Amino acid sequence: MQQKIIILDFGSQTTQLIGRRVRELDTFCEILPYNKFPKDDPAVIGVILSGSPYSVHDPEAFKVDLSQFVGKYPVLGICYGAQFISYANGGKVEQTGTREYGRANLRQFDKENPLFKGFEDDSQVWMSHGDTITAIPSDCHVIASTADVRFAAYASTKYPLWAVQFHPEVFHSTQGTLLLKNFVVDICKSRREWSAASFVDSTVVDLKAQLGDDRVILGLSGGVDSSVCATLLNRAIGKNLTCIFVDHGMLRKNEFKKVMAAYEGLGLNVIGVDASEKFFKDLEGVTDPEKKRKIIGRDFVEVFNAEAKKITDAKWLAQGTIYPDRIESLSITGMTIKSHHNVGGLPKEMKLQLCEPLQWLFKDEVRRVGNQLGMPERLIKRHPFPGPGLAVRILGDITREKVRILQDADDIYIENMHNYTMPDGTSLYDHVWQAGTVLLSTIRSVGVMGDERTYEHPVALRAVTSQDAMTADWAHLPYDFMAKVSNEIINKVKGVNRVCYDISSKPPSTIEWE
């Protein structure tokens, strides 16, 4: 039986990050809404309560019956989780008049407590809360303080229960991973059996049992998730998998041919469909970003369904849905962060069962599984790319000529990124979470080429660093790289006479412009 940590989500923006940190400790975890704790699950070895955007005093604050797990499993409360445990057990949580955000240091902590095993003096932690705990339950004792927060961490003398007002999951808590390791491995006794190799082995067995000799259809996008999903299914059911790769005409330069060749090299049974004429016709004159997305989504379903219907004996539709897709599409606050085309079931007209072999994986885990499956590194390390493709990187209406301009400029940018070697010997491409070029086709700028005046379009280069795309910072690209790319784009791409660089972070900006 596979052990697991349950993470109860109270709406924090960093709940996924807690999950990723636990998985990095080779331990399976499941993120569930705060009120969905699984009863009588023998696989559970510990429980973590996340932070929350609410105060425990808010009328709409999320509250849970702690008796479901306190005293039965080791429990760790983080930020709101720590405050709620105190509040629900006779402690006090108050607004002190000052919000506590940013770096702090543990001035005092109990070095004998298992949660702080191996901690250094003055260990830096990250605070992010408006309320603070001013009194802890009678059966608890303080185990860590900062200069401003007396009850930075506390523990129960009665139950295996710990609580911290800081966020160990974030990068700025320098020994946060050690704290989580102390809890997950030492306190909860994780056997650390979760790995890419174990996932591949167990999933192949499960897929063979689930699918038998049935035929499965999978829509490929050229991205990491669907490619790994296809390779995993191919290992399990071989020729019974049929993949469909739809070219809507707005992929990167020569991408359709390159990706098809890569898929054939993996031994996949792939049907390539060039439907670009239909997409360009239906997008003619459309400038609104949401309308562009909806048209492309509708046309993709129509083209895919028409091709899928030719496979009359298919019983399953496979999708490359990953864990963050499912979490974001089911926001407990009622505010969906991001909708996903591959979440939410099947179109009514498709009489197929759904197969989602990657539904428990985070993006970095998908890449590790791809490595385990022996997939080409260039395919595994591909940056995320929007489903509507370059259509949402062209401001204004879509034409073949605009797509051609953007493809040429983007190809120069991305290839130079692959070819630029960083001091550690890896490529610049591997240091960036996502990079792409935006054509500002609603704008023209004056330029001079030779002795002639030009009046052409600018392009904006975008590159961000991130861990999960929920937040992102603009990448500080080397100046010599940017100079070379700018010069090459302006000299080689007809229709562009100016190159800009986007230095916006997310939030407040999004990674894509549309």
Known catalytic residues are: 79, 167, 169
Alpha-carbon distance of 423 to 401, in angstroms, equals 38
Q: How far apart are CA 361 and CA 75, in angstroms?
A: 24
> How far is Cα 479 from Cα 459, in angstroms, rounded to an integer?
17
Of 513, 438, 504, nearest to 465 by C-alpha is 504
Regarding beta strands 445-449 and 452-465, do their DSSP bridges make them parallel or antiparallel, or are they unpaired?
Answer: antiparallel
Matching residue, tokens 């499912």 = 326
Q: Which residues contact 369 (CB under 8 A, 6 or more apart)?
A: 196, 199, 200, 228, 232, 358, 361
Strand partners, 93: 133
Residue identified by tokens 């390539």 is: 272
Q: Are strands 241-247 and 215-220 parallel, antiparallel or unpaired?
A: parallel
- β-strand partners of 108: 145
- Could you write out the DSSP letters of every residue in 183-221? IIIIIS-------HHHHHHHHHHHHHHHHTT-EEEEEE-
Q: Provide DSSP, 78-96.
A: ETHHHHHHHHHTT-EEEEE
| Sequence-ordered list of residues with C-beta below 8 angstroms from that of 258, at least 6 positions apart, any chain | none
> Any residues with CB less than 8 A from the CB of 477 and at least 6 apart, and which?
428, 463, 501
Q: What does the alpha-carbon distance between residue 401 and residue 115 come to, in Å, rounded to a whole number?
A: 60
Calpha distance 260→281 (Å, rounded): 24
Strand-pair partners of 496: 457
Going from the C-alpha of 383 to that of each of 329, 339, 408, 456, 467, the distances in angstroms are 21, 19, 18, 29, 12
Specify whether the backbone of 26 is left (phi greater than 0), alpha (psi in -120 to 50) or beta.
left
Rounded to 5 degrees, φ, ψ at 48 are: -120, 130
For residue 370, how far is the Cα from the chain centroid? 16
Do the beta carbons of residue 157 and residue 110 sit within 8 Å? no
Give the DSSP per-residue string, 65-76.
-GGGTBTTB-EE
